[in-house]
Amino acid sequence: MKHQDISTAKDPDLRASFFAMQRAAALARKVAIQTETGIVIELDGKLVRVSADELRKEALGDAP
């Protein structure tokens, strides 16, 4: 199976889905910070829990 860049998809909804996922991820981070909960992300093929404190530091630009 050949992978193609989603921005070249014929379906406009599919092309827009990448940006929708980015907005959803940003909102999830914001809600996690507000509610003092963490989120789980996939990083290098592994599931990683990111705490609200880590998200807050990332949002302030203090992350590495």
The Cα-based distances of 24 to 2, 3, 20 in angstroms read 27, 23, 6
> Is the pLDDT reported for residue 20 higher than 70?
yes
In this predicted model, what pLDDT tens digit does every residue of 28-64 receive, in sequence order? 999 999 999 999 999 999 999 999 999 999 989 875 5
Residue 15 is assigned to a structural domain of this protein: yes
pLDDT in the model for residue 9: 86
Q: State which residues form the domain around 17.
A: 6-60
Residue 1 is assigned to a structural domain of this protein: no
Residue 29 is assigned to a structural domain of this protein: yes
